[in-house]
Amino acid sequence: HPGAGGSRSPGPRALSAGAVRPRHAGRRAAAEDGAAEEQEGCCRLYPGHIPTSPLQKALLAAGSAAMALYDPYRHDMVAVLGETTGCLVLPNLRDKMKHDPEGYRILRERPRIRLSTLDVNRLRGLPDGTLGREYTRFLEDNKVSPDTRMPAKFVDDEELAYVIQRYREVHDLMHTLLGMPTNMLGEVVVKWFEAIQTGLPMCVLGAAFGPVRLNARKLRLLTTELIPWAIQSGRNANCILNIYYERRWEQTVESLREEIGIFPPP
């Protein structure tokens, strides 16, 4: 019963409609959000995977290539470039591993080269000349760490993501086997070797454009001695991803070079 000058109270139907409508809307929104998250989760093939379209990959490749050429020590950009341009090459590397007993074992066991998986003190105590001792010496002399290698994000296949991750984590071992430091000259030489070995566009780009930053003396040394040696070794060597390095720490660098097919550094 309305009072004088008062407004009519809302009826039961109005109260019900006003209360139910927001609840339904909230439930619908929550359901839609949940479905979107579930769909996005289904597209993720491994932890950290970021699904991308071909156009997105092309844009990422162009941007990361420009940044990597401007600053070759931007490891994050180099990593993105490797993932977004390696889709045609990675299956070939994976197949090489699958058709080699040691490479197949690596694919099956998925070892990682990280500080958390390395017994650095034990490796440091190995005799001079062994892979483990020379690898830790390389890390210490150049102040680098295996933990700086970026995890794969943009490779749309879980097994291929491991292949490129493995390539990254054995990169410092390539420096050790080739006897190359981490300065620009050393990086270019390693990139020439890796370009021949893997065919990864990122390595080809680094090998082709890296020399522009060298002075005349280093460029002469690179073109007359180091590049021919790196190309010859890259062609002669077995696939570098087919070596279970974690089981070779006690082996001498010299004997491992001979086994792989890497010629002694000039």
At residue 17, the pLDDT reads 43
Task: Return the pLDDT at 23.
Answer: 53
Find out whether 85 and 198 touch, Cβ atoms under 8 Å: no
Give 74-92 pLDDT, tens digit per residue: 888 989 999 999 988 999 9
What are the residue ranges in the chain where pLDDT is below 50?
1-10, 12-21, 31, 34-40
% of residues, the chain, pLDDT over 70: 84
Q: Report the pLDDT value the prediction gives residue 72, as an integer from 0 to 100.
A: 78
Can you read off the two tokens belonging to residue 206? 């680094």
4: left (phi over 0), alpha (psi -120 to 50) or beta: beta
Rounded to 10 degrees, the C-alpha dihedral 124/127/131/134 comes to 60
Q: Rounded CA gap, 241 and 91, in Å?
A: 13
Per-residue pLDDT reduced to its tens digit, 7-49: 444 454 443 444 444 555 555 555 455 444 444 455 899 999 9
Give the domain ranges of the chain: 20-49, 54-260
Q: Which positions ≥6 away from 24 have C-beta within 8 Å?
A: none
Task: Give me the pLDDT at residue 176, please.
Answer: 98
Three-class secondary structure of residue 130 per DSSP = strand
What pLDDT is recorded for position 25?
52
**Amino acid at the residue 127:** P
Angle at 39 between CA 33 and CA 43, to 5 degrees: 140
